[in-house]
Amino acid sequence: MKVLFDEDVPGKLGRSLPRLEIHTVVSMQWGGIKNGALLTLIEAEGFNVFLTGDKNMEKQQRLEGRPFAVLVMSAIN
């Protein structure tokens, strides 16, 4: 499963998920890209899951019909 961590998700979380293919927005060189364009890139690159701490994403972006899951973390430390 191919997972993308948003900029606000700690990369060290990926070490606890060894069976997943983890990438970060930073490692993909997508830092600073706005959510709409970012969602398009996520889809184009074939990610299965996008993990973010952006609680407003579903209010700001259309997520229905996307071929990947968007998981919003309620607390990021």
Closest C-alpha to 69, from 56, 50, 41, 45: 50
Strands 69-72 and 21-24, how do they pair? unpaired
pLDDT exceeds cutoff 90 at 70 = yes
Q: How far apart are CA 10 and CA 64, in angstroms?
A: 26
Q: How far apart are CA 46 and CA 33, in angstroms?
A: 18
Q: With bands split at pLDDT 50, 70 and 90, how would you rate the model's confidence at 77?
A: low
| Predicted TM-score (pTM) of this structure | 0.89
Closest C-alpha to 24, from 13, 35, 34: 13
Give the model's pLDDT for residue 59: 86
Side-chain-side CA neighbours of residue 22 (13 Å): 15
